[in-house]
Amino acid sequence: MSEVVIEPAKGTEEEAEHFAELMRLSAPEYFPSLLGEKFREFFKIAFMEKGNLFSHEHVVFAMYEGKIAGMLLGYSWKSKSDEEGKTGWLMMKVLGFDFLKRLPAFISARSGSGKLDENDYYVSNVAVYPEFRGKKIGKALMLKAEGLARESGAKRITLDVERDNEIAIAVYKKLGYTIEREHEVELEGRKYGFYRMVKPLKGS
């Protein structure tokens, strides 16, 4: 039986392609609405650079039979505070006018999703390629996130999940997450509803 191996991203161009596609899979309608047509290009560039919230420094990949099967993007409250400015600058640089046009929606999204309290570690995105689903890869990634959260000094782990994603919500509940609150983001006339789910880290 094949094992799932979790590896930190190295920041290669090949990984950047996988990262952009897995980010799309994690929120196929939300990201194009939030970031516009160049969202893939932005993810590739941000992944390759250091010191921003979409950098390879915050990414781990799940390997299955030697292939990239999934990924997780997560960071601590300290990284969020340190890197938010550079992330915004990078968005402006890559997305240009498209980003300015969407700035009000982006500010609204950041005030709900992604808002972090001190001592929180945030799982921003997790995705598994369809052909690798059903092999407990998502669970392996989420357990890795708990280890990374502890290493960062966080006391709890948090994430946002779309309210209609019942399968993911059920998985997170099984892993010990509870719903803390809900919030909405309106993009291009459509409302996206999210639950903020949290899990205290034992021994932190």
Mean pLDDT in residue range 132-145:
95
pLDDT at 47: 98
In angstroms, rounded to a whole number, what is the distance separating the alpha carbons of residues 172 and 194?
A: 14
In angstroms, rounded to a whole number, what is the distance separating the alpha carbons of residues 106 and 6?
A: 31
pLDDT in tens, 148-200: 999 999 999 999 999 999 999 999 999 999 999 998 888 778 888 999 999 99
Predicted confidence (pLDDT) at residue 106 exceeds the cutoff of 80: no
Predicted confidence (pLDDT) at residue 144 exceeds the cutoff of 90: yes
Residue 11, C-beta contacts closer than 8 angstroms, at least 6 positions apart: 47, 48, 50, 55, 56, 57
Which residue's entry shows tokens 């970031």?
Answer: 35
Q: For the chain, give every domain's residue range.
A: 4-200
pTM of the model: 0.93
4-200 placed in CATH 3.20.20.70: no
Strand partners, 63: 5, 68
pLDDT at 100: 77
In angstroms, rounded to a whole number, what is the distance separating the alpha carbons of residues 175 and 123?
A: 14
Predicted confidence (pLDDT) at residue 137 exceeds the cutoff of 80: yes
pLDDT in tens, 52-61: 999 999 999 9
